[in-house]
Each structure stands twice: as C-alpha cells, then as structure tokens.
Amino acid sequence: MTTGNLSKARLARMHDTMAGHVARGTAPGVVTLVSRRGETHVDAIGLTEVDGRTPMARDTIFRISSMTKPVTAVAAMILVEECQLRLDDPVDTLLPELADRQVMKRFDGSVTDTEPANRPISVRDLLTFQLGFGVFFAPPGSYPIQDAIAEAGIGNGPPRPAELPGPNEWIRRFGTLPLMHQPGERWMYNTGSDVLGVLIERASGQSLETFCRRRIFEPLGMRDTAFSVPAGKLGRFATSYEPDPDTGALRVYDPAAGGQWASPPAFHSGSGGLVSTVDDFAAFGQMMLAGGRYGDERILSRTTVQAMVTDHLTPRVKEESGFYPGYFDSRSWGLGLAVVTRRDSTSAVPGQFGWDGGLGTSWYSDPREDLTAILMTQRSGFPQLSEIYLDFWTSVYQALDD
C-alpha cells in the first residue's frame, strides 16, 4: 500500500488497460496522471504520432480543447473577486456588440424571424452556458442557424484557432446573429466560454493569454500551457488525430509542425484553444481541489471555488436542455465546469468536478477522495462514450486501496 492509498498492483492493471488501447490502435499514445494525498503517479505509453519514433513522455504537449473552459472560468472569477466583473451584471457595458439581443422565435425557423430578448446576457449566463446560444448536435445544414453561423465564420465545432478572426471582429460577427433561446432558458454548450474570453480581455485590458499567463499559469508553474506552441517546443507536441467516419482509421486532424497551434492565433479561444501537459494541468486541478491555493500561491478564495463547483442549473433548465441522453440525470454544470450530482458508475462521485477535451483529454478532481486524475491522448472522441475515457476513469477508482 502506498502513502496515497493507491494500490501498486491496481495501478499496474491501469497501465495494462491503457497499453492495451495503444496496442489496438485506439490512440498512438497516452499519458495518465493520478494524484492522491500528496502522491502522484504518471505513466507515458506509446508514441506521439502514428508510425512515428518519438515516445510519449511526461512533458508531451497536447491540445486540451474543452479543458480550456475551466481555465477561462477561473480567469473570470479572478476578475469577479476583484470587482471588475459581477456575476449578475449585464455584459453590455463591456460588450456593446451584444446589447439589445434578438432571439429566434423558433429554433428551427428563420434567423430573421425574431423577438427581443427578455433581458440582457449576464456574466453568470456565460459561465453557466445559459446565454441562449451554443453548440447543438445535428448534421450540417439541418437548421438555418447553422448556415448563418458558418457564414459568420465564428467557429462552433472542433477547435481550429488559426481560422478565427481577432477578438473584436469575432464578437462583432457574433453580435450579428440572433440568440437561439432566451437568456436563462436553456443550457447550451461551448459558446459562452468564447464570449467570456473576450469579456475578460475587455475587463482586464490584456489579451486572454497574457491575463491567464500572469494570473494563473506563472503562479502555478504551468510552463507549457498556452494558446500556441513555440518552435522550440514543437518536438514535444503530439500530432492530433481523428477517426475516419467511414473506416474508423486514424487520420491527421492537426500536425505538430505547421498546424493550427504552431503559431500564435489572432483569437484566443476561451472554449478550446489551450495546449498543456499532464503536470501543468495537474497543478491547476490541485489548485481547485485545495480551494484556490497552490503552495504559497492563492489564485481564488475557497468560497469562490466552492461556488464554481456547485450545481447552478435549475431542474427546469436541465429538463429542457440537451447534451446527450441522460447526461443531466447524474451531472450538471457549475461556473465553467461540470459537477457530478449522483453516483451512477464506479467512477462518478457526487461532488467530483472537472471537464473533458474532445481532442482526447480528461480531468476531474474529487474532494471526497482527495484525488486528481488526468488523461492525455491525441485521438479525438466523445468523452462520456469513448472506451479509452471510460476505461481510464474506471481504472483510476479501482486503484483506490483504503
């Protein structure tokens, strides 16, 4: 038995399970981290690219996509604590592009058939994804709003940072679109974090990357976390893959050199733009687990973190919102991250919080077990349904030995 009450034999079982995924070609490689009660285990398996020679390592850099969202939320809550932002204030003052919103009368109707919003969008709406606009899962061209989003060029799918305009132009384009629902009416994924990133820039007078670097990354020692990868670090940057929809074979989504993250983007996407390493993000997860403190650094107050990891959605919002069937039966959303509300598996513990990245990553911290765990791969998938994610989290919790 180890000091963190993690079984060595069961950690070895987790290694074998992850190595099996690599051997079967689920992903070219994987890096895992399990940290409990001051003891940390890291395991790197496989290669950074298909048919490559560079082995996965503890310092391999990954695109963490939607794991960016909790980081953006922490940045916003720093400004809330400093009274530069207030949760229930309208965003119109700093984002006049979003004043006097129009709302589609029917989600599947014309984008010009609208009515005035019942109220302005608030900071809280952005954090809880209740601004009335977001991602929905339907084939392209299914609804007129999809065509309008594509024409505006604001991005509303897998992250492609090099294709987006700068923040002022991005928010201008977003402001030309109607909301899909009234503010506060439904939970809709993703877009709130991008709007929040622009709001942070306006409130702080700094780029989102500069603000996050000074207030989060540097204090936490997150040396490799950024919105792009400099030339000197590209050798540690894993190639990103997605499965071919017809054959299932892995195809390149984004190369390391010359790809979307190989140069600084015009738009720092608060929803999915960051890259990071397993140790960098473990520092962030440990900070959240410790109530805002990391070593001698305090990023947020304990009460602010408690507010972030509290369920902020009403039963009515959950009933009317969709993500995938059954999601809100055992999970919900706090201020910028997911929270587990009911135990429905061996690895779902009420009070657990965190989020996943659709390009192959996952992080959750568990106050009840004093546990932080992270999965990093370079193969995209749907986190709550993909076998490698599910097997990782099952393996983390079966390794507890107390």
Residue 132 backbone dihedrals phi, psi, to 5 degrees: 100, 15
Return the structure tokens found at 91. 């965003």
Residue 248 banded pLDDT, cuts 50, 70, 90: confident
Predicted confidence (pLDDT) per residue in 90-118, tens digit:
999 999 999 999 999 998 999 999 999 99
Q: Do residues 249 and 24 lie in contact, with contact meaning Cβ atoms separated by under 8 Å? A: no
Residue 113 backbone dihedrals phi, psi, to 5 degrees: -90, 90
Residue 369 banded pLDDT, cuts 50, 70, 90: very high
Fold of the domain spanning 72-209: Beta-lactamase (3.40.710)
Amino acid at 367: P
Helix-strand-coil split of the chain, %, nearest 5? 35, 20, 45
Cα–Cα distance, 402 to 395 (Å, whole number): 15
Predicted confidence (pLDDT) per residue in 329-349, tens digit:
999 999 999 999 999 999 999
Q: Which of 153-162, 189-198, 329-338, 367-376 has the weakest average pLDDT?
A: 153-162
CATH number of the structural domain 8-66+223-399: 3.40.710.10
Cα–Cα distance, 369 to 105 (Å, whole number): 46
pLDDT (0 to 100) of residue 1: 41
SS3 350: coil
User: What are the extents of the domains in the chain?
Assistant: 8-66+223-399, 72-209
In Å, what is the CA distance from 93 to each residue of 28, 98, 100, 171?
Answer: 47, 9, 12, 14
Give the bridge partners for 331, in sequence order: 340
Q: Do 8-66+223-399 and 72-209 come out as alike in CATH topology?
A: yes
Q: What is the pTM of this model?
A: 0.97
CA pseudo-torsion sign 68, 71, 73, 76 = negative
Instruction: State the Cα torsion 368-222-75-153 to the nearest 10°.
Output: -110
Calculate the CA 367 to chain-centre distance. Answer: 20
Predicted confidence (pLDDT) per residue in 229-244, tens digit:
999 999 999 999 999 9
Q: What is the mean pLDDT of residues 163-188?
A: 97
Cα–Cα distance, 175 to 171 (Å, whole number): 6
Give the total residue count for the chain: 402
Predicted confidence (pLDDT) per residue in 257-272, tens digit:
999 999 999 999 999 9
Based on DSSP, count helices (H) and strands (E) in the chain, helices before strands. Answer: 13, 15
Return the structure tokens found at 210. 């500069």
Q: Do residues 42 and 32 lie in contact, with contact meaning Cβ atoms separated by under 8 Å? A: yes
* Residue 62: pLDDT over 60: yes
* Residue 184: pLDDT over 50: yes
Cα–Cα distance, 18 to 6 (Å, whole number): 17
